[in-house]
Amino acid sequence: MKKGKLYGIGVGPGDSKLMTVKAVELLQSADMIITPKTEKKDGSVAFHIASPYIPETAEILPMVFQMNTDMAAVERQWEENRKIITEKLDEGKNLVFLTLGDPMLYSTYMYIFRAFEGTEYEAETIPGIPAFLGIASYIGMPVAEWEENVLIIPATASPEKIDQALAAADHAVIMKVYKNWGYIQSELRKHHMIKKAVMVSRAGLPDEIIQRDLDSLPADYKPNYLSTILTKRDDL
Ligand SMILES: C[S@@+](CC[C@H](N)C(=O)[O-])C[C@H]1O[C@@H](n2cnc3c(N)ncnc32)[C@H](O)[C@@H]1O
């Protein structure tokens, strides 16, 4: 029997209408749609964004991905997921794996993609608009001009790494700001990047929040899981 194919699809930055034509066509013809289920619930947001294009008859498979520090448990879980996907591909099913934004930027899909890379199974990645670029257009803030550089870093990185990276940045995109907001705020102040900083939560979704005066937010503020900061140095 001909094996099925695995497609990793980026659903873009929130607004369903910003998905690519290719992603929509694949969703409409897929045999099964996999939505990653993490404790952060980003898989269900990806599903919500893609839902206008998912046929009622489509088979949906929520797949659990643990994100804890017990690496042995995490690896067992990924191996389990790889096995499930392999079985479906052996049955000849074409599978679509949904990811927020673009599949190649901080996404669970990369683990799956690597597991099948160089094997007899075919996988194809369909890019999506990454959340930070969607946000740049939504709020009208160019991410870089002329010779300026752009730093992309998750707030979950080590304090030293964030500090060194911001010291060299003209513009910065800080993702996963649900963690370590107090530290990020102090770093933005230290590197003269707080004045122009904008935090956008749940961009493109009906309950989107745009916050501009980040200097006056309390240090113990808890941003939504889907929050990204775009900023640049005060003198730019
Ligand atoms: C696991 S990463 C996924 C990134 C995604 N692959 C991309 O290309 O944007 C999750 C982080 O992406 C950002 N993000 C994704 N969608 C977002 C949205 N609609 N609004 C704001 N931030 C978003 C947030 O920083 C969030 O913590």
Task: Say if ligand 1 is within 6 A of residue 100 CB.
Answer: yes
- pLDDT at position 76 is 87
Mean pLDDT split into 10-residue runs, the chain, 236 residues? 94 97 96 82 83 92 80 86 94 95 94 90 97 98 97 97 98 94 98 98 96 97 96 96
Q: Which fold has domain 132-232?
A: 3.30.950
Task: Say if ligand 1 is within 6 A of residue 63 CB.
Answer: no
Reported as half-sphere exposure (CB side, CA atoms, 13 A), residue 80 has a value of: 10
- pLDDT at position 43 is 60
Superfamily classification of domain 5-129? Tetrapyrrole methylase, N-terminal domain (3.40.1010.10)
Q: Whose CA is nearest to atom 5 of ligand 1?
A: 101
Nearest atom in ligand 1 to the alpha carbon of residue 176 is 27
Domain boundaries, the chain: 5-129, 132-232
Rounded distance from Cα 92 to ligand 1 centre (Å) = 32
**Cα separation of the two ends of the chain:** 59
Cβ atoms 97, 7 nearer than 8 A: yes
Q: Whose CA is nearest to atom 7 of ligand 1?
A: 101
- pLDDT at position 57 is 87
- pLDDT at position 42 is 59
- pLDDT at position 41 is 58
